[in-house]
Amino acid sequence: MSAHIRVERDGAVRVVRLERPEKKNAIDRAMYAALSVALAEGDEDETIGCHVILGVPGAFSAGNDLADFLAVAEGGEGGTEVFDFLTALVTCRKPIVSGVDGIAVGIGTTMHLHCDLTFATPRTVFNTPFVDLGLVPEAGSSLLAPRVLGPQRAFALLALGDGIGAADALAAGLIHRVVEPAELEEAVFSAAHALAAKPRQALRITRDLLRGPREEILARIREEAEHFRGRLVSDEARAAFHSFMNGR
């Protein structure tokens, strides 16, 4: 498991905290594995009604650990941890409420497309520099972001690499509410407890209807992953990873 993922329970709410502040909550393979387990366990536990995902003050997540990407770019084995996490996220049967403060890069942004309610602070910027890294969108974002944001704003996010601030994310429907950092956890927990207290079956059916068929999303994730694996070993990506790791 990972020391950087803390799992807690707050009544009927299961809380998963990303805690790797020294790396701005970049997510490494062990963290993905721990996140998958946390979601699966919360789903199986009948006393749990809702999942919560949080980062640390100032950083939800800087995205995938670029050292892990570089290892693959240089011939290492990639593992299935990211794919397993995305599958757990998409197939999760209980609502997920996320709270974002500050940095939200890559999967630190795309993850919220699978969350039911996302709260963010005014200093949050959602950013997916996939193309600048020689990569392509992941986590089903090439399917879901255009649906949520419309094609042009999705293109600006996923291809141009334009960040979306909290106010614009709210206006675009990417998030549910903007709250001050000091109020973030209270807002997240209040929503999560309200959901956990609802009639479970009615909530589950409602959520399923709203989210639509999962197979379509899983198929897109597989399609993206095929391209992503190819891109990871491309000269473009290798150069971008080296550039970041060398601090340029």
Residue 65 binds ligand COA (CB under 6 A): yes
Beta bridge partners of 117: 97
Interaction between residue 5 and ligand COA (CB under 6 A): no
User: Does residue 124 touch ligand COA according to CB under 6 A?
Assistant: no
- Closer residue to ligand COA, CB minimum distance, 29 or 220: 29
Contact region for ligand COA (CB under 6 A) — 62-70, 91-99, 112-120, 218-226?
Answer: 62-70
Number of CB atoms found within 10 A of residue 10's CB = 14
Residue entry with tokens 């407890």: 193
Whichever of 99 and 106 has its CB closer to ligand COA, that residue is 106
Picking from 89, 36, 28, 98, the residue whose alpha carbon sits closest to that of residue 63 is 28
Report whether 176 contacts 118 (CB < 8 A): yes
Binding of ligand COA by 24 (CB under 6 A)? yes
Q: Is 177 in the site for ligand COA (CB under 6 A)?
A: no
Q: Is 23 in the site for ligand COA (CB under 6 A)?
A: yes
Q: Which of 133, 139, 100, 98 is nearest to 116 (CA)?
A: 98
- Residue 224 is inside which H or E element, if any? helix 214-232
Examine residue 62 and tell whether it contacts ligand COA (CB under 6 A). yes
How many angstroms separate the Cα of 145 from the Cα of each of 30, 95, 179, 186?
27, 19, 23, 27
Pull the structure tokens for residue 118: 């996302």
Q: Which residue lies nearer to ligand COA by CB, 23 or 211?
A: 23
Tokens coding 44: 């199986």
For residue 106, state whether it binds ligand COA (rule: CB under 6 A): yes
232 belongs to the binding site for ligand COA (CB under 6 A): no
Segment interacting with ligand COA (CB under 6 A) among 35-43, 98-106, 214-222, 225-233: 98-106
Residue 18 binds ligand COA, judged by CB under 6 A: no
Looking at residue 157, the DSSP 8-state letter turns out to be: I
CB 173 → ligand COA: shortest distance, Å? Answer: 23
C-alpha 166/C-alpha 217 separation (Å) is 25
DSSP 8-state assignment for residue 55: -
Q: Pick one of 13, 38, 82, 103: the residue that binds ligand COA (CB under 6 A).
A: 103
User: Does the footprint of ligand COA cover residue 101 (CB under 6 A)?
Assistant: no
Binding site for ligand COA (CB under 6 A): 23-24, 26, 62-67, 103, 105-106, 129-130, 133, 244
